[in-house]
A and B are shown apart, each in its own frame.
Chain A
Amino acid sequence: GNSVTQMEGPVTLSEEAFLTINCTYTATGYPSLFWYVQYPGEGLQLLLKATKADDKGSNKGFEATYRKETTSFHLEKGSVQVSDSAVYFCALMGTSGSRLTFGEGTQLTVNP
């Protein structure tokens, strides 16, 4: 079946540091890929998405590129802010049905 693996957390960075959170997946066919973010006390919010190979999703300075050859969708941001502190979830939706399969989540803490 489908599965998503994220890098182990938590991740702690200083403000303006470069962020990478790794995500790899296992799925048949061409799934759609997503990053969700959960701020403290809030629900899961869609951060960005990519629906086919080599697509780059981007939002709020975050980017991720759908790499079919490495089955990866790593999240990057060039300069993090304290307000980016949250839990980040990588997820996929397969080619049939509408269920999301999530990774473990990565807690990011950005210190001033």
Chain B
Amino acid sequence: EPEVTQTPSHQVTQMGQEVILRCVPISNHLYFYWYRQILGQKVEFLVSFYNNEISEKSEIFDDQFSVERPDGSNFTLKIRSTKLEDSAMYFCASSEEGGQALYGYTFGSGTRLTVV
């Protein structure tokens, strides 16, 4: 069964450093997403991406965050200057359509980011 692959599974970074989280969505999917889950809290939407641009973003997704699909297969989330409160599990997802009612998202297994 096709999978969404995220790397690395765990990343530790110093506060203030830039970090890039990587995702390989399912090859025929057109919509891509990032979510995060701070330990003990809800899974929160960050951003959706379609046709090489952001289609929707949450209030969490401020100027410190950016997304890119650099080569047609990878989908990345960059945090420019990490803060302690960015420590969380970050989930990538993809879907064939924007509204998932018919087809459903496929989520990756997540990258645990620890900012020290």
Which A residues form the contact surface with B (CB < 8 A)?
Answer: 32, 36, 41-46, 49, 51, 89, 91, 93, 97-105
Contact = CB atoms under 8 A, between A and B. Distances in A.
A56 B106 CA distance: 21
B2 interface: no
A76 B4 CA distance: 28
Contact of B101 (A36, A45, A93, A103): A93
A47 B83 CA distance: 34
A102 B99 contact: no
Contact of A97 (B56, B91, B101): B56
B100 interface: yes
B109 A98 contact: no
B75 interface: no
12 contacts: A32-B99, A44-B91, A49-B101, A49-B104, A91-B43, A93-B100, A98-B31, A98-B56, A98-B99, A99-B58, A104-B41, A105-B42
Interface residues of B, number: 28
B55 to A, nearest CB: 8
Contact of A93 (B99, B107, B109, B110): B99
B92 to A, nearest CB: 9
B91 A43 contact: yes
Nearest to B58: A99
B65 interface: no
Nearest to B35: A100
B101 A46 contact: no
A105 B42 CA distance: 7
Given A93-B101, A98-B48, A98-B98, A43 B107 contact: yes
A93 B102 CA distance: 12
Given A43-B110, A93-B100, A100 B105 contact: yes
Interface string B78-110: 000000000000010101001111001111111
Contacts of A101: 45
A102 B110 contact: no
Contact of A99 (B6, B48, B107): B48
